[in-house]
Amino acid sequence: MAETIFAKIIRREIPAQIEHEDEMCLAFHDVAPQAPTHILVIPKKPIPRLTEVTDADTPLLGHLMRVATEIAMKLNLANGFRLVVNCGTDGGQTVDHLHIHLLGGRSLRWPPG
């Protein structure tokens, strides 16, 4: 797998505003926020996209969702928030390192574009 900018953020070679870190994941603020709160939760394991997740990664996926929800609560998004995973070209994925977008702080429209 080709190196991504997120691998460099994990290794602290590129700065990011980090919100959470544990042994399995890192969460940091998106550099181009689409909502007042826009955080990316990424596994430290360099999985390119959802279609390359294996059965062994199932607990990791659950962990990412739990961490995203805990961050949402910590950042006072109790009124609501959205988790998004873009997958592949049509899904709008631009960085080939699996990530969950946590969006909140405003009323979000549906359906997304």
The catalytic residue positions are: 99
Tell me whether residue 60 or residue 84 sits nearer to ligand AMP (CB atom).
84
8 A C-beta contact, residue 40 and residue 26: no
**Residues shown for the chain:** 113
32 belongs to the binding site for ligand AMP (CB under 6 A)? yes
H-helix segments, 22-93 = 58-74
> Residue 86, interface with ligand AMP (CB under 6 A)?
yes
Instruction: For residue 31, state whether it binds ligand AMP (rule: CB under 6 A).
Output: yes
CA–CA separation, 6 vs 13, rounded Å?
A: 10
Candidates 18, 30, 65, 105: give the one binding ligand AMP (CB under 6 A): 30
Q: Is 14 in the site for ligand AMP (CB under 6 A)?
A: yes
Buried b (16+ CB within 10 A) or exposed e, 31-46: eeeebebbbbbbbbeb
Interacting residues with ligand AMP (CB under 6 A): 5, 14, 16, 30-32, 40, 86, 92-95
